[in-house]
Amino acid sequence: MRVVGFISEKGGVGKTTACYHVAVALHRYHQKSVLVIDADYQRGGITGRLFPDLIEQFRRGTLPDKTLFSKFQHLYSASNFDPSVNIRHSSVGVDAIVADTRLSNVTTNKLPSTNNIFENNISLINHLKVIKEVIVNLPKKYDYVLIDSHPEISDVLRSIIYASDYCVSPVKLDLQSSVGVPTIVSEIGTVNKDVALMKATIDNNLIYNPTIFSGAMGMMAREYRGTPKQTEADEMRRLRSTGVVFSAYVTEGDGIRKAAQERLPVYDISGTNAEKQSRQFLQLTSEFLTKCP
C-alpha cells in the first residue's frame, strides 16, 4: 500500500483535479485498488465529484459519516482513540473517505496540556499520527491511498505529510503558484526532522520512513504550437533547479472544464481537447507510478 498526499500552499492550482484523475486512471487503466481521502474541509471537491448527491449535506455539515475529524476529536477530549471511519464506494470504482468541514477546527492547541514535557510531546506525536492510524487500520489494504488537501500549512497538512510515503504538488505553471513549491518541500523536511527528534528522544519504537517529495505536477499549462509557451517552459526549468518536476503535464482546456461540469472523468468526455487532456492524464499517471512506486 502506498500513500500519496496531493499538497500545495496555493489554492486553485489543480490539486483536486489531479488527485481525482490519477485515482480514476490508477483504478481503470492499471487495475489498482484506490482509496481517496478528502481532507479538503473547505471545498470537498473530490467528495462532490465522486458523490454529487452528498455535496449539499457536506456544505450544511450534516453528513453522518465517521470522518477524520472525529479521530482528532478523540485526542482533544482525551477519550479512547478509535481509528475506524466510514468508507464509501463510488460509481467510478474508487473508494473514499468523504470531506468534513469540521476539519478546519483541527489544531494541536486543543490538545490537553500538562506541565510535563514528555507527556506533551507524546500527545503531539499522537496528533501527527492520526491519519496514519486511520490508514493502517483500514478494513482493506488498498494499492494506493491518495489524499486531497486544503491549501494551507496547518496541523492537518502535517498529519497528511506524516501519513504519506510520497507527496506531490500540483502547480499552475505561473511564477506565483510555483514559488509555493519550496514552501511545501520545506514543510515535508520539517515534519521528517520533528519525527527523527521524537524517535531519538521520546519513542524509540516509532516506525517512520521519511516522506519523499516526488515532484511538482504542471497543471493548466498553456501551449503554443504543441509545446509549452515560453513562460511555462521557463517556469519548468526554474522548478527543476529547485527539485523534482514531472515531465508529463496537463494543458489548460475545455475538456477538463466540461468534465468538471458533468462530474465525470475527462476520460469519459468526447471532443478533441478532452481526448488530448485524457492522454496527458494517462501519461501523468504512468509517470506517477514510477515516481511513487
Ligand X SMILES: Nc1ncnc2c1ncn2[C@@H]1O[C@H](COP(=O)(O)OP(=O)(O)OP(=O)(O)O)[C@@H](O)[C@H]1O
Task: Give the binding range for ligand X (CB under 6 A) out of 9-17, 24-32, 83-91, 204-212.
Answer: 9-17
- Residue 109's identity, in one-letter code, is N
Name the grid cell of 210.
Answer: 521519511
Q: Which residue has the cell 486543543?
A: 110
Instruction: Identify residue 239 by its one-letter amino acid code.
Output: L
Cα–Cα distances in Å, from 119 out to 82, 111, 126, 258, 266? 20, 11, 11, 52, 49
Which one of residues 16, 47, 123, 159 is an interface residue with Mg ion (CB under 5 A)?
Answer: 16
Q: How far apart are CA 102 and CA 73, in angstroms?
A: 10
- Among residues 214, 121, 115, 205, the alpha carbon closest in space to that of 164 is found at 214
Binding partner of residue 215 among ligand X, Mg ion, none, CB cut-off 5 to 8 Å per kind: none
Contacts of 87 by beta carbon, 8 Å cutoff, 6+ apart: 35, 95, 96, 97, 138, 139, 140
- Partner touching 244 among Mg ion, ligand X, none, CB below 5 to 8 Å by kind: none
To Mg ion, the closest distance from the beta carbon of 125 in angstroms equals: 28
Q: Which of residues 53-112 bind ligand X (CB under 6 A)?
A: none
Nearer to Mg ion, 30 or 102 (CB): 102
Of the residues 7, 9, 16, 177, which one makes contact with ligand X according to CB under 6 A:
16
Query: Is 45 or 228 the residue whose CB approaches Mg ion more closely?
Result: 45
Binding mask 42-61 for ligand X (x = CB under 6 A): -x-x----------------
15 binds Mg ion (CB under 5 A): yes
Distance CA 64, CA 70 (A): 11
Shortest Cβ 17–Mg ion spacing (Å)? 8
The residues that touch Mg ion, with contacts defined as CB under 5 A, are 15-16, 40, 45
The residues that touch ligand X, with contacts defined as CB under 6 A, are 11-17, 40, 43, 45, 151, 219-220, 250, 252-253, 256-257, 260
